[in-house]
A = this chain, B = another copy of it.
Amino acid sequence: MTGQPSTPRPTSTDPLVIFMPSGKRGHFAVGTPVLTAARQLGVDLDSVCGGRGICSKCQIQPSFGAFSKHGVTSREDALSPFNAVEQRYDDKRGLKAGRRLGCQATIQGDVVIDVPAESQVHKQVVRKAAAVRDIIMDPATRLYVIDVAEPDMHDPTGDLQRIEKALQDQWNIQHISCAPSLFPRLQTVLRKGKWQVTAALHKTAADATPELIDLFADLPETGLYGLAIDLGSTTIAAHLCSLEDGRVIASSGLMNPQIRFGEDLMSRVSYAMMNPAGAAEMTAAVREALSNLAAEIISDGQVDPALVTEATIVCNPVMHHLLLGIDPTELGQAPFALATSDALNLAASDLAFTGMNPRANIYILPCIAGHVGADAAAVALSEEPHKSNELSLIVDVGTNAEILLGDKTRVLACSSPTGPAFEGAQISSGQRAAPGAIERVHIDPDTKEPRFSVIGCDLWSDEDGFAEAIATTGVTGICGSGIIEAVAEMRLAGLVDAAGLIGSPAQTGTARAVPTGRTHEYLIFDGTEANGPRITVTQGDIRAIQLAKSALYAGARLLMDEIGVDHVDRVVLAGAFGAHISPKHAMILGMIPDAPLDKVTSAGNAAGTGARIALCSLSARAEVEALVHRITKVETAIEPRFQEHFVAANAIPHATAPYPHLPPLPQVSFNSGGRDNGGAGRRRRRAK
């Protein structure tokens, strides 16, 4: 390594150096750079430039005290004086008071060296929301500054071979491969960088041979970036994250364009079965959407696309196959065989994925089974049921719900076809969670009058200034969490009975229950005077929510049957787009089994978080790859008990299990015989 002197073996008479917070210590010869001492002791001190005083990653803070047997060491004696390289860096970028560059400061006497968190390679990133677990940075792609030998006519070797030699000599990286599409860039970058360049090396695993995926003439000071992508049936969400510290730089989402081929998974499988080029059309659509989303989010984050060298993708099995160009037909029929289930490392070009570095690596998390995908694996990685003493039920609400149930001793998984209602699709006034969407609803049990809040505004609709606050977005529709609250509140207010029927104005005593043909709808917001929407909850909306929540409950119940329990210790609600479902309302609906309300928590987009964890950490990838093999898969599609639970769970809340943790609900019944007689009955008629 540059600047590393060849020193004689140190003895106990040499200065003592103690690194904090690790406490690692050793004696080093006078003149040893702090970075060198840290490396020899295995202290977690970062360096991208390898001690050239360029990257400033190795900042340390010396401190002094009476620990030395030689007595107190003064600040002046312990380390070499501030040198020209440090001064240049301080002038250019500013160095915090007391900080030194570990590669420049050399040991002169006994000293305690504090390694600040940001100088550690394996930084711990504390998640702000729902901090179930921390992420320890261990990214697959890293930067290395190297000095490459200039070509010598009399000892001819290729530029690439001299790059390899530099990585061997300067970073002890013995062998690399090189992405072929990088060949054309090598010469120009080396010459532009005057033979000092920064190599980006990607590894698929801790012990894998690194691949050279890019070369930069200068050190990219911001470090590298990656995309964590949650590819859902209805929505696609992505976070652009720093690979230095896991920070989210920008987030964005869009509707899955495959919706035009079918709202839910089985419709898309059918489309592939019925149309010879159907699967290929859907593959092209989702790949194009991913490229567009990447370009948009990278532009939003004002990041150089060349620095985005990683992406991780979580998705259900049908999305997984369509993304990979595999016909999903096999997933539509028993035995629901996946073409491939293990985690995948692909080149961006394998997926025609543009918008970022063309040699970026795409990591797709492993699938668990034909109906339990990489999204469920990601939820498991994020929520860690396998490390819990409590029996945890984790429900990832999407067009297909991923359900995990388990504790330290075992984890079970299944998926349940809830349909897109929870995401606001197939709901009369539904929309995806975006500014303007109603996300919270409260209905006064006496007046039956609603109040609500919309995404992008902190005020409730009956608070002063609401109209002004939403002037730009308006009230545009109702999102998934909004419709769940609306239906639950309608049940609480006695507007809806246990069978899911909306009462008439006479039965409910409010004109907001508006007759529409043979049924009624409940008016939440009428914006028609200002040419805005009229937002209601229709009888059809309630039926859609009933079908969705019955499917969800039936899946959870099936896993409980497998383990042989009637209750769970805690429930975690997760869902795409971080839609925060209210635990109380979810329980009123009967989406989930009964649990103490303080044991029902919302985890935001756990699948997306799993994608982000995998993006930041190779060891997390190894963990999820091992974990999926330990999860027991339960197949709902062919299980007769699933149908039984599904039918029995139609009531609001369902009638098969008590809900001791809920308040008593109004004893109303609006069934008038001739009208809608309930989802379950309707469903049976349909089946004839």
Contact = CB atoms under 8 A, between A and B. Distances in A.
A633 interface: yes
A568 interface: no
A158 to B, nearest CB: 3
Nearest to A156: B369
Interface string A172-194: 00000010110110111000000
B327 A184 contact: yes
Contacts of A347: 180
Contacts of A337: 151, 156, 158-159, 187
B341 A157 contact: yes
Interface in A337-396: 337-342, 344, 346-347, 350, 367-370
A191 to B, nearest CB: 9
A676 interface: no
A330 interface: yes
B339 A186 contact: yes
A514 interface: no
Q: Of residues A151, A327, A339, which shows the largest number of chain B Cβ atoms within 10 Å of its Cβ?
A: A339
A158 B342 contact: yes
A530 interface: no
A633 B160 CA distance: 19
A460 interface: no
A153 interface: yes
Interface in A560-599: none
Nearest to A342: B161
A325 B157 contact: no
Nearest to A279: B184
Secondary structure call for the A interface: loop
A187 B346 contact: no
Interface string A310-352: 0000000000000011110010001111111110101100100
Given A341-B161, A350-B180, A156 B368 contact: yes
A159 B160 CA distance: 38
Contacts of A159: 337-340
Contacts of A368: 156
A480 to B, nearest CB: 29
Contacts of A655: none
Nearest to A362: B180
Given A156-B370, A161-B341, A326 B187 contact: yes
A347 B330 CA distance: 29
Nearest to A280: B184
A326 B187 CA distance: 9
Interface in A631-680: 633, 635, 638
State the 8 A-B residue pairs at the shortest beta-carbon distance, nearest first.
A151-B337, A158-B341, A156-B369, A153-B335, A160-B340, A158-B340, A158-B338, A180-B350
20 contacts: A150-B335, A151-B336, A151-B337, A153-B635, A154-B635, A156-B337, A156-B369, A158-B337, A158-B339, A158-B340, A158-B341, A159-B337, A159-B338, A159-B339, A183-B326, A183-B340, A184-B326, A187-B326, A187-B327, A188-B327
Given A156-B335, A159-B338, 10 more contacts: A151-B337, A156-B369, A157-B338, A158-B342, A180-B350, A184-B325, A186-B339, A187-B327, A187-B330, A187-B339
